[in-house]
Structure 1
Amino acid sequence: MTFAAPALAVADWRRQVFALYQAVRAEPDPAAAHAHWQATRNDLLTEHPASPVPIERRDRYAGAPVAAYRPEFRFEATIDTDVKPFTWEFQSATDGVIPFSRVGVLHLPVGVLDVWWLESYGGGLFVPVKDASSSTYGGGRYLIDTVKGADLGSDPHEFVVDLNFAYNPSCAYSPEWTCPLAPATNTLSVELPVGELSG
């Protein structure tokens, strides 16, 4: 697969990620959806020109290590919007300041996570999470990132928050990428032994 310009490769990557999460939302069995997500994500990481895995490593990259699916880490949660407004600005080395505004919190059995709104062009909901496990990426992982298509779905009242789908940001693969990492309010004191692990 080749593209005339890097921007076209990134556009195709995002198109495929949106399609992946659409398929995940359409699958009634969460474990089957997770298996499809893992296989497709590994295909993208190992074969797509816009993969964050450095090109010199891709031919020997075995795919992202992902823990076995555990249904007890899947929740349906209402975003509690009765929160004090708060702005978080992430200083990016490539895109300048990336501003986020807190729009709510998720009260989960494993802890409380802030829900952020990306104030840059296009907007989007963003929920990163950092946990106490030594087997996960130290900067935290992403649960919801709607601007990139990472969204497990919702009805008008509840969001699907499945920690089995937590995935590493691009900067976990290469220092060439700069990613917003989980702030203190999205850091949990418990271990989350599911989702994508550090490889």
Structure 2
Amino acid sequence: MSSISAFDVLDWRRRVHALYARVRAAADPAQAHAEWVAGRDELVRTHPASPVPAERRSAFAGLRHAPYDSALRFVVAVDTEVEPHRLEVPTATDGVVPFELVGRLHLPLGDLDVWWLDSYGGGVFVPVKDALAGARTYGGGRYLLDTVKGADLGGSVAAGLVVDLNFVYNPSCAYDPAWTCPLAPPGNRLDVPLEAGELVPT
């Protein structure tokens, strides 16, 4: 991780933002998902800012994804009637990262809290931890939305956010323990198995 330059990270973020822009522009969610899978796999396997350490990339077999399931795509209004709550997450790379609870998504599978990154840049953050965590999915949970880093599927607070659980992906710490990632708090845990999105790496 220490060998990653600021300009590597800049390029990574540009590519991630561009990838999600193509996802939002696509008419067919399944086709958008296929492009996202291919694009994210290429980035993680080859990019200098990949969370997979450079010495392990040549042997990295690529990401593992569940097939696309259209039943896991929703457009959901954000319920903003929530009690104020603040999380302060200590990390090894970014200091203490503060989040404010700004809403809740009511999904058929359960509720997910919506957080606002309360620091420079800001952004919506929705992690997910499901009943398969630690077995088929990453133990600390995965990320669905992290708009400050480009992971934004579209929609609006009033009309509804696009919440497509096929796009959940592993945080960087799933690939290298040198990273410290904000993990899913209690309000972002589903009691059901979510065999969707990015699965645990081999």
Aligned residue runs from structure 1 range 32-51, under 5 A: 32-51=31-50
Give the deviation of 1:95 after TM superposition: 2.1
Tell me the alpha carbon deviations over residues 96-145 of structure 1, each in whole angstroms, 9 at most, x when there is no partner: 21110000000000000000000111110000000001200000000000
- Matching of residue 104 in structure 1 with residue 106 in structure 2: no
Percent same amino acid among aligned pairs?
62
Aligned residue runs from structure 1 range 142-153, under 5 A: 142-153=143-154
Stretches of structure 1 that go unaligned for 5 or more consecutive residues are none
Aligned residue runs from structure 1 range 12-31, under 5 A: 12-31=11-30
* CA distance, structure 2, for counterparts of residue 59 and residue 25 of structure 1: 32
Partner of 2:92: 93
* CA distance, structure 1, for counterparts of residue 7 and residue 140 of structure 2: 28
Partner of 1:180: 182
Give the deviation of 1:176 after TM superposition: 1.3
Partner of 1:122: 121
Partner of 1:161: 163
Distance 1:70 1:95, change over 3 A: same
Give the SS at the match of 2:98: strand
Stretches of structure 2 that go unaligned for 5 or more consecutive residues are none
* TM-score, reference length from structure 2: 0.94
The code of the aligned residue for 1:157 comes to A
Stretches of 4+ aligned residues off by more than 4 angstroms: none
RMSD: 1.2
Give the deviation of 1:5 after TM superposition: 7.0
* CA distance, structure 1, for counterparts of residue 40 and residue 105 of structure 2: 26
Equivalent of 2:198 in 159, 183, 196: 196
* CA distance, structure 2, for counterparts of residue 197 and residue 184 of structure 1: 21
Aligned residues: 196
Partner of 1:58: 57
Partner of 2:77: 78
Give the SS at the match of 1:23: helix
Which moved further from structure 2: 147-156 or 110-119?
147-156
Which moved further from structure 2: 138-147 or 93-102?
93-102
Q: Answer yes or no: is the 8 Å Cα contact 2:98–2:119 preserved in 1.
A: yes
* CA distance, structure 2, for counterparts of residue 94 and residue 25 of structure 1: 30
* TM-score, reference length from structure 1: 0.96
